[in-house]
Every structure is written in structure tokens, then in C-alpha cells.
Structure 1
């Protein structure tokens, strides 16, 4: 860690997911499967507050992470996943998209990382590029991910 930025950086180890509290400290991640699927630690459930979960999603780059906000049911996907400009029929609900031309590490790992995202309960994808994706239900997001993966 660079001494000039250590006050604003959080050093993470392993493959996560990691949960940071409001003081940017890594929270203990020993929680049950139901809490993990919801993206919540036991501490969060007991104290009734939400925190951001950093999800290790290698593929676009070797160290890519997505951020999951359970309170808003939102995933900040960076360069990992987005929505195409519009649905083929011009309606809402356009298919999800990955930028294969800009994959700098491993397409198979990116697809595996996308599949892993189904375990998180989000209805909005906020990408670094491309369109924001909104889903009425989490199951709708899961079907969109499945449809994307079937393209490969």
C-alpha cells in the first residue's frame, strides 16, 4: 500500500466477498448461507444497518470488483456488466451485455463471475459504461443473467 494513499485505501486479501463498515473497516464475514445470499452479515442483520459488499469478480480485469448495496438493491458493476442500448422491440428490459472487445483478462472468468452475481438480491445494475439496468423483481434479473450466459 502506498504511504501517500493508505488513509483512503483499504487493503483486501483473498477472494471475498468483503463487507466494509461505515469506518471502512472489513467486517467479519462468518455468516449463514441465507445472509450470504442476501449480501448481509450477521452483524448487519442484528444491528439493522446496511453496508456495501465488495464482490470479487475477475474477468474484465484480474482484480475487478463489483459493489453491492443491499439497502438500495443495487449493484455497481464497473466494467463488468451493463445493459445494451435498447431492447430489440424498443421496450424496456433490454438484454444484459458484456464488452468482449474490452476484456483485458479472461472471458471465461468474467462469465463465471457474472453467474456468481445471481446469489445477490439486487434489482438495479449501475455500470461504468452502458445503460443502467432496472428489474421489477430479483428473479427477472436472474433470468436476464441466464439469457446473457446462454449467448456464450
Structure 2
């Protein structure tokens, strides 16, 4: 749903049934508790232990989210992450692959 010409609200169930993320200017992704950077793993991750609705749905949501262009991941909890768009695409694919093993 487009809230403004530069602001999208994207429904991404998983963390909760009605979880949403905000994408501003195809640059800044406000993720809430859906996605963050892991210093330990040196990659983007989803929070399995904070998934209150469905891990399967969260993985599917992350696959859809990987089709969008952005440069910043700004989580509600966890570390933020910034990269160029090609690196972010790669990180998102790596995150999905990692989530599928959890």
C-alpha cells in the first residue's frame, strides 16, 4: 500500500500475523522485529525466537522483501545495516537461505 509517493507499507506476515515494514524512498527499510544485522554471523537474519506467528510465513515474506530495492535495514531491535543495492540483494538471499535452515 502506498502511503505517499515515496513511502510504502508492505505487509510481511511472520513475526506477527499482520506484521508490516515501511520502505521509504526505495532506500530506507524500517523492519520492526522482522529483520536485522547479526554481528555474530555477519549477515542479515530473521528472529526465530521472536517469531510469534509463523516462521514459514516469515521466510516467504523475506523472499518477497528481497525483490525490493533498498540500502538500509533499520530494525526495531537488533543492529542496522547499510550497503549498496547489489550487496543488499545478496544479503537478502543469504538471509533467506539461512532462515530455511533454522
Residue matched to 2:88: 141
Residues 1:20 and 2:19 are matched in the alignment: no
TM superposition shift of 1:51:
2.5
Contact 1:70 1:121 (C-alpha < 8 Å) held by counterparts: no
Q: Which residues of structure 2 form unaligned runs of 5+? A: none
Q: State the structure with more CA Rg.
A: 1
Task: Detail structure 1 runs of 4+ shifted over 4 Å in the superposition.
Answer: none
Q: Using structure 1 for the length normalisation, give the TM-score.
A: 0.61
How do 1:1-152 and structure 2 match up within 5 A?
18-21=1-4, 50-70=5-25, 73-84=27-38, 86=39, 94-135=42-83, 137-151=84-98, 152=100
Q: Aligned in 2, Cα 1:100/1:87: closer, same or farther, shift over 3 Å?
A: closer
C-alpha deviations, 1:65-115, integer Å up to 9, x for none? 0000016x010001110001x255xxxxx2011111111000011011111
Q: How far apart are the structure 2 equivalents of 1:148 and 1:125?
A: 13
Q: Which residues of structure 1 form unaligned runs of 5+? A: 1-17, 22-49, 89-93
Q: Using structure 2 for the length normalisation, give the TM-score.
A: 0.89
Residue matched to 1:4: none
User: Greater relative contact order: 1 or 2 (C-alpha under 8 angstroms, separation 6 or more)?
Assistant: 2
